[in-house]
Structure 1
């Protein structure tokens, strides 16, 4: 095969970007959909190879394709197609820009990664493993070379070439019966080394080895001899990571040691539990306590296994390990050489650079280097300084993923200024930093400033890359979203429509970025009052995402959530309730029961029950939700308070007005302290207090609350804003109930005049 080879009349090979003993990886183009892809090819083996070996190797490749193609999670590399072409097995997958963890450590000169990056990687890999394990799949070869971090910070697991389905032990036995080593010594679990049956907890052990290495700079058993490494995993307790790097937080040290427990039952039960512990440690809130582990011992006493002869060591290990070499490890102080991953052994995105125009499916469609020369290639750039800025850029992305937007904003602004000085104002890396700085402005409540920043990046990208370039479209799409945040929904609609047309023309109707744009368009249609159009578009997008990404993919569920919302706006609450319940159940399976998106769907389930008059059921939903949100996010978190507000509303609907009044007052007091006295949620609580007072016949104090809300909204939103006018209507109604008919009539006339002027 060579450049410009066309596989099955569809996949054109453009450039070989990886090669190993068993296969090659090519940058390619899908001519049918007009998108960049990666194609992995298993090279035909000559007659010198044993036929059974060849047969098993080809079966493994097919198995990788079947297993990987069935997985639909943002943390797993997307496989689009596979087949057999002229005797060559091939696998078609998404084209990733980024580096595997092995390469990141190598580029970091053997130093460990920043703590925030370690935690972020741990959290994302735990989420991906939770998903794959729930599909009955155990990876069996988790290592730094098989974990890729893309330019936007998304972490993906690659290479399911020796993955096994949990229920398919017979097939696995046939594969392992060939004597081909399964796994890599530095990252193998004790039960894997012993030839015992493995399950999801073996992957958790391997993840512990990976986290140990990226947190300390060396794997837990950093030895030159494969046998010593295997015996270390089996018999020796690892040195606590904090003995090698004192700045590591205690919770992370404990989690890694729990993952490295020798016996599977001493490790976390599953990756969902692991994810919850990481989140709890990162946010500083109580989580499930870790299992007791070995007492800390000095690093030098545990860094190597007990003293035994090579013969004794080999005698205690299964026969399939004989002849095994150390394999690749990411870095460390031993004599093992760091080498690029072998495409034949598995697919790693480290050596799949993303050229201009290729996209990945993530929260945003802009990577760190959209186009142009590599950092350091400019005539005035210092390579080390540029590399340092790239690392700081990644740090900013990590801070954003952790929700630390103010800190992320400072990092991106500083990096943008330095990149402009070193590389120039129009360099792609400078524009990438300016884009991220704009994104942080939007996340910190500065939508107008974000819009101006996006416009500057868009103008530069149109000039340099063209109006239809994916990176140009990405920033224009963010402009549309920001316009919507500013209430300029008509302007947003025009931009979304223009971007969608370009995406469909250049990427295809089913490309994830095209579908994301159509989803945003549906959302904006709803805000324009075009509810039927919004519902129709959202349903079309949900069906397409289910077909392309899978029915339980987070993006599919986001769109189904929007479908339910629009059904509610059309008063089709029975359908909305069924959809919200389906989404909540799917999110609990895919994301976990405590994920914010799962909790949000449960909240909307309560809303739908209340609108259907099933208020007692709604109270049960809200009560459980308040308990779960208090545990997961804290009792004063805005979403916990929103659930308490919903509970109070339904208490009122059931006629329990004294309880409803007490709940509204408590929630309003906390909202005023946490969010501020003029926050919209605080004002909603004041209105709920007024409603309860009115139902209790206490109209004078109710009037005070209604006027407080109206005055605040007029000051913040303007006298003719719809929410202000609703508050004035409440005030006029209250005046009527107090017998002050003349004042009420005057107020109603003023309200009518403001509404007429607004239209």
Structure 2
């Protein structure tokens, strides 16, 4: 996988957070929703080339994804999406800000956590396990690295990577007869070690191991020999935690020992019972005592898969040998952070061990050769350039993340300034063509365009596309991504003919490189359909959007977000053709599907409801539109906040329909409020701000306040001329509005001259084909 790669045409990989034997975790941006996510990618299987094992792993991944995506609890990491892209299986999850328990212990320099934190973590994990066990899901690999405490104190279980539905027939501990074992030795239950039946009580045993470690600073069987660890879990009663840490409460000591009972029936039956014990502070069920170390039963044999096994890292990672790469662990194994080229404190995904930023693992470098016994004379070599200081790279990575955070908040101007500064420093430190430098330049241009600075964004994306073509090649996906953004910027500038040309060229290159049905190809075709509509070729736009929607339904599924986006573009083309009834019907269908698949509060669902309200207004059903806009404003304010751009978009629609109902004083008040909020959030030159300013001017005109309306229109025209150019259609439309105001003010000569000037420019533009 590579930084800035687009997965399924939607998830843009930004930073490598962690890497394990079977794949990688990336911080990514969901381009459809504009939010940060974590993407887990299952890499090619390396030495595991056995086709039967590959099928097992892929089946387990799909099972994992379906199970994990069905879980919904504040104590379980949210899974948003999953699928396969270019042969790489991926899982999209929420991005967590915080530390896993392994890192918390490391940060605490090996000392146990405070007692109140241990109790809080225990209670929260018990609540989450109670929920997952009710769903029939057993985690099977609970360990400190799979439990994250976020910055707000919420504890989340991550990485249900080897979980299975309890009623899944035919799947045992190993899933198949491959001899692949699941779990981590320091935290495995006796029945899991023996290869027996595993249920929710195995998770409770593993939780007991985790609580023991965070309460005492060491796991219950803190041994360097793997065999001794396994035998300890199976045969040896653990040393009571209070012997290691006397200040622990007695009831916590009893709870932990109860969880570590050798026989499942001697543990709490389920996590709800555990939660009651934690809350009650008293012992429930049979007592568990420490009888001292017991000799291993020489008649019992450990499973064959334990041969040659090393202990693996416990939470503190004190240099013990690591487990060999385990194909059964897949996405559930220890996710070690990549080398520290980034700063501490980046958001974590499900269970990475720490922050990471751009670059391969340390073992990618060749080992240092041993010096010969007798040194030989070597020719003098020029001194290698000193590597960039790690501190500066870390600081730049942190600033890059800050820029991404600002973008996620919709603060595009600040994000662009941040990325521009980082790009300049990276160019000086790493070189102008380094992938990190180019990535920062891409983010800069991306932010500029979203901030309404389309002309600057066009120049930046054009230069970036040329640099990527020079470094990577003209048909490289990253080069094509930059060119596609160039086309988008041209469209924002009203240069739709040029945008159409670029989209067509990028589309042809994508078809050659990855085929007509690849998600990236379909995204480009979707954008081409949008551009056809802006060129007035509405039937071509509708037909192309229909074809893309059908292809996406076939490739991604009829309910996939991208499929629904293309159906919305079909509806848009229908509306622009005056077929608003058809558009309304399709928007309602999309809204219902999104509510069913994504939930009523999902941004995509709210967007479809907005288009439904807009269609009602275009059909003259302003009272119905007004009602729907009011409901939408309430929901958007609750979900996204009262000043979110989409909340303000709904308020803008409300004001428009107030005007259509003749309530111009109310419409003016609403337009002024929205204009002020947009100016504060987006800037005075942002297209949305200018649209609101025009609505203020329209309302002033209807209230017969033409002199004030003229002032507003002139402000709009001057800004558009500066940003878009004096001949842009939107600039000319503003001049037409000015002329109308002059006419209503009795200044006919000035109005006529302005009308004629606008007409000349439009004729010239039409003859030039632009």
TM-score for the superposition, normalised by structure 1: 0.59
Query: What displacement does 1:380 show?
Result: 3.9
What is the alpha-carbon distance in structure 1 between the residues aligned to residue 525 and residue 144 of structure 2?
Answer: 36
What is the alpha-carbon distance in structure 1 between the residues aligned to residue 748 and residue 187 of structure 2?
Answer: 76
Q: Is 1:712 paired with 2:700?
A: no
For structure 1, which segment, 522-531 or 69-78, has the greater mean C-alpha deviation from structure 2 after superposition?
A: 69-78
Structure 2, unaligned runs of 5 or more = 1-18, 25-41, 70-78, 109-131, 148-156, 224-228, 246-268, 282-287, 297-301, 339-356, 368-381, 764-770
**Partner residue, 1:78:** 83
Q: Is 1:346 paired with 2:352?
A: no
Question: 3-state SS of the aligned residue for 2:44?
Answer: strand
What is the alpha-carbon distance in structure 2 between the residues aligned to residue 617 and residue 495 of structure 1?
Answer: 41
Query: What displacement does 1:588 show?
Result: 4.0
Query: What displacement does 1:661 show?
Result: 4.4
What is the alpha-carbon distance in structure 1 between the residues aligned to residue 553 and residue 237 of structure 2?
Answer: 46
CA RMSD between the two structures: 6.3
Residues 671 and 695, structure 2, Cα contact 8 Å, conserved in 1:
yes
Residues 690 and 705, structure 1, Cα contact 8 Å, conserved in 2:
yes
Superposed CA offset, 1:225-274 (max 9, x none): 67789999x999xx9xxxxxxxxxxxxxxxxxxxxxx986799xxxxxxx
**Partner residue, 1:751:** 755
Label 1:604 to 1:596 Cα distance change in 2 as closer, same or farther (>3 A).
same
Label 1:110 to 1:680 Cα distance change in 2 as closer, same or farther (>3 A).
same
Query: What displacement does 1:619 show?
Result: 2.2
Instruction: Summarize the alignment of residues 64-103 of structure 1 with structure 2, pairs less than 5 Å apart.
Output: 64=60, 67=63, 78-79=83-84, 93-94=88-89
Q: Is 1:332 paired with 2:332?
A: no
Label 1:345 to 1:417 Cα distance change in 2 as closer, same or farther (>3 A).
same
Instruction: Summarize the alignment of residues 8-87 of structure 1 with structure 2, pairs less than 5 Å apart.
Output: 38=44, 63-64=59-60, 67=63, 78-79=83-84
Query: What displacement does 1:645 show?
Result: 2.2
Instruction: Summarize the alignment of residues 174-189 of structure 1 with structure 2, pairs less than 5 Å apart.
Output: 183-184=183-184
Residues 564 and 590, structure 2, Cα contact 8 Å, conserved in 1:
yes
Residues 141 and 162, structure 2, Cα contact 8 Å, conserved in 1:
yes
Instruction: Summarize the alignment of residues 594-609 of structure 1 with structure 2, pairs less than 5 Å apart.
Output: 594-609=601-616
Label 1:713 to 1:584 Cα distance change in 2 as closer, same or farther (>3 A).
same
Query: What displacement does 1:670 show?
Result: 4.3
**Partner residue, 1:615:** 622
**Partner residue, 2:644:** 637
Question: 3-state SS of the aligned residue for 2:407?
Answer: coil
What is the alpha-carbon distance in structure 1 between the residues aligned to residue 64 and residue 439 of structure 2?
Answer: 31
What is the alpha-carbon distance in structure 2 between the residues aligned to residue 462 and residue 417 of structure 1?
Answer: 20
Query: What displacement does 1:505 show?
Result: 0.7
Residues 710 and 724, structure 1, Cα contact 8 Å, conserved in 2:
no
TM-score for the superposition, normalised by structure 2: 0.58
Label 1:634 to 1:66 Cα distance change in 2 as closer, same or farther (>3 A).
closer
Superposed CA offset, 1:551-607 (max 9, x none): 333333333333322222222222322332333344445555444333322211211
**Partner residue, 2:164:** 164
Residues 467 and 473, structure 1, Cα contact 8 Å, conserved in 2:
yes
Residues 710 and 741, structure 2, Cα contact 8 Å, conserved in 1:
no
Instruction: Summarize the alignment of residues 381-420 of structure 1 with structure 2, pairs less than 5 Å apart.
Output: 382=386, 385=389, 389=393, 392-393=396-397, 396-397=400-401, 399-400=403-404, 403=407, 412-413=419-420, 416-417=423-424, 419-420=426-427
Label 1:527 to 1:409 Cα distance change in 2 as closer, same or farther (>3 A).
same
What is the alpha-carbon distance in structure 2 between the residues aligned to residue 188 and residue 603 of structure 1?
Answer: 51
Label 1:501 to 1:160 Cα distance change in 2 as closer, same or farther (>3 A).
farther
Residues 736 and 754, structure 2, Cα contact 8 Å, conserved in 1:
no
Label 1:24 to 1:655 Cα distance change in 2 as closer, same or farther (>3 A).
closer
**What count of residue pairs does the alignment treat as equivalent?**
586
What is the alpha-carbon distance in structure 2 between the residues aligned to residue 386 and residue 61 of structure 1?
Answer: 37
Instruction: Summarize the alignment of residues 310-329 of structure 1 with structure 2, pairs less than 5 Å apart.
Output: none
Residues 616 and 625, structure 2, Cα contact 8 Å, conserved in 1:
yes
What is the alpha-carbon distance in structure 2 between the residues aligned to residue 177 and residue 637 of structure 1?
Answer: 50
Residues 43 and 88, structure 2, Cα contact 8 Å, conserved in 1:
yes
Residues 61 and 161, structure 1, Cα contact 8 Å, conserved in 2:
no
Query: What displacement does 1:464 show?
Result: 3.6
**Partner residue, 1:475:** 482
For structure 1, which segment, 534-543 or 431-440, has the greater mean C-alpha deviation from structure 2 after superposition?
A: 431-440
Superposed CA offset, 1:198-247 (max 9, x none): 69xx99x99xx99x99xxxx999996667789999x999xx9xxxxxxxx
Corresponding residue to 2:538 among 518, 531, 534: 531
Query: What displacement does 1:400 show?
Result: 1.2
Question: 3-state SS of the aligned residue for 1:78?
Answer: strand
Query: What displacement does 1:711 show?
Result: 0.9
Query: What displacement does 1:186 show?
Result: 7.4
Question: 3-state SS of the aligned residue for 2:326?
Answer: coil
Superposed CA offset, 1:95-146 (max 9, x none): 99xxx99xx9999999779xxxxxxxxxxxxxxxxxx99x998876588999
For structure 1, which segment, 417-426 or 605-614, has the greater mean C-alpha deviation from structure 2 after superposition?
A: 417-426
What is the alpha-carbon distance in structure 1 between the residues aligned to residue 101 and residue 324 of structure 2?
Answer: 10
Query: What displacement does 1:195 show?
Result: 8.4
Question: 3-state SS of the aligned residue for 2:502?
Answer: helix
Q: Is 1:570 paired with 2:565?
A: no
Residues 697 and 710, structure 2, Cα contact 8 Å, conserved in 1:
no
Superposed CA offset, 1:367-395 (max 9, x none): 9679xx98999984556746973784486
Superposed CA offset, 1:264-310 (max 9, x none): 6799xxxxxxxxxxxxxxxxxxxxxxx99989x9xxxxxxxx99457
Question: 3-state SS of the aligned residue for 1:604?
Answer: helix
Question: 3-state SS of the aligned residue for 2:329?
Answer: coil
Label 1:585 to 1:386 Cα distance change in 2 as closer, same or farther (>3 A).
farther
Superposed CA offset, 1:60-81 (max 9, x none): 6574266379799996563479
